[in-house]
Amino acid sequence: MAGRYEPIESPDETTVFPYHDLTPPTVATVARARRRVRQHLPQTPLVRSEPLSEALDADVLLKREDTLPTGAFKVRGGVNLVASLDEEFRDAGLLAASTGNHGQSIAWAGREFGVPVTIGVPEDANAGKVAALEQLGAEVLQYGADYDEARERVEELAVEREARYVHSGNEPALIAGVGTAGLEIVDERPDVDRIFCPVGGGTSAAGYCLTLGELTDAAVVGVQAEGAPAMYRAWNEGTLAALDSVDTIAEGIATRVPFALTTEILRDGLADFRLVSEEAIEDAVARLFATDRIVTEGACATAVAGALQAGSDLRGETVVIPISGRNVDREKFDRLLAESDY
């Protein structure tokens, strides 16, 4: 088909292709995703944290997405996208840009379904992360000085190879896939009052809005780093303008460009959106290890910091915090523990 693999006009400052349908998924779409996802991934535990429950005088439940293969929730989206992939895309394979959990998710799902995957990362990408992607069978393309240069190269390659580019936010199948975590919570605890969700590109928070937010009385609260408030601004001001730069230790949510699809869902479904400081994020990483012996990356700790910031507002409530990922850099983790008071 003419132009099928050429970029089209984008509603935001990212590159999109004709196969990027920007219609928000519904809860029925998420239910269909769940049937696919559960054939490949276990349901994750919802476990009460005694220390956080005591600190907040609330019933605090942790959704342990860190127990999934790859150690982060994103693999739910990868599995749903690849499981429902049009036949025409399977042979040429999938391309994505990511130094982190998005890349691992697509690589894991590609291996699971026998679809070739190429992940673009910057030239100076951490050797451990490159090795992890290669271990999952992905071709790793090291290109450019930063994420955006690697991403642009991947987008060109998607045109050259006539292959499918997997966007990190404007993908209904990723959002529906990650939303399956929300349906698991609805089944177990329909009485949840509030969920604090870390926001980078917004797929995770969108998934909770479409499930917990639609099916129960739970308030879905987004939390972003003060140093990387792209989606926060989009939610508040309705602008899809990119930030010039972002600066946070939480690299999993260091997103410069807001995405049109997730912004639409979050503006409709988020009850509140909060920003937290770098200090609060660093403190939350150390705290969760000290009190619960859980290893988290900064992106995940952002939601914990958001709940701690809400403090006494949560008294008596049932509160869920997703443990969204555990892929923290070892040196960073050691430094945060050494510098903390715990």
Ligand X SMILES: *Cc1c(COP(=O)(O)O)cnc(C)c1O
The DSSP secondary-structure symbol of 311 reads: G
Residue 288 main-chain phi, psi, to 5 deg = -65, -35
318: contact with ligand X by CB under 6 A: no
DSSP string, 254-293: ---S--HHHHHHHHHH-SEEEEE-HHHHHHHHHHHHHHH-
**From candidates 78, 182, 306, 325, binder to ligand X by CB under 6 A:** 325
- CA 267-219-261 angle, to 5 degrees, is 25
The DSSP secondary-structure symbol of 88 reads: G
Contact letters for ligand X, residues 224-263 (x by CB under 6 A): ----------------------------xx----------
14: contact with ligand X by CB under 6 A: no
> Which position among 49, 63, 74, 129 bears the catalytic label?
74
Contact letters for ligand X, residues 95-134 (x by CB under 6 A): -----xx---------------------------------
- Active-site annotation holds for 63: no
305: contact with ligand X by CB under 6 A: no
Burial of 50 (0-12, 13-18, 19+ CB in 10 A): exposed
Nearest to 223 by CA among 245, 202, 247: 202
170: contact with ligand X by CB under 6 A: no
- State the nearest-atom distance from the C-beta of 80 to ligand X, in Å: 14
* Terminal C-alpha separation, the chain: 60
**From candidates 300, 304, 307, 319, binder to ligand X by CB under 6 A:** 300
> Which position among 49, 168, 204, 324 bears the catalytic label?
324
DSSP string, 179-202: THHHHHHHHH-TT--EEEEE-SSS
- State the nearest-atom distance from the C-beta of 205 to ligand X, in Å: 6
- State the nearest-atom distance from the C-beta of 211 to ligand X, in Å: 14
Contact letters for ligand X, residues 60-99 (x by CB under 6 A): ------------x-x-------------------------
198: contact with ligand X by CB under 6 A: yes
Q: Residue 106 or 205: which CB sits closer to ligand X? A: 205
Could you tell me whether strands 46-48 and 59-63 are parallel, antiparallel, or unpaired per DSSP bridges? antiparallel
Q: Residue 110 or 200: which CB sits closer to ligand X? A: 200
Cα–Cα distances (Å) from 252 to 72, 100, 301, in that order, read 10, 7, 11
DSSP string, 174-185: HHHHHTHHHHHH
Interface with ligand X by CB under 6 A: which range of 12-20, 121-129, 292-300, 331-339? 292-300
- Active-site annotation holds for 129: no
297: contact with ligand X by CB under 6 A: yes
Looking at the annotation, which residues are catalytic? 74, 324
Residues making contact with ligand X (CB under 6 A): 72, 74, 100-101, 198-205, 252-253, 297, 299-300, 324-325
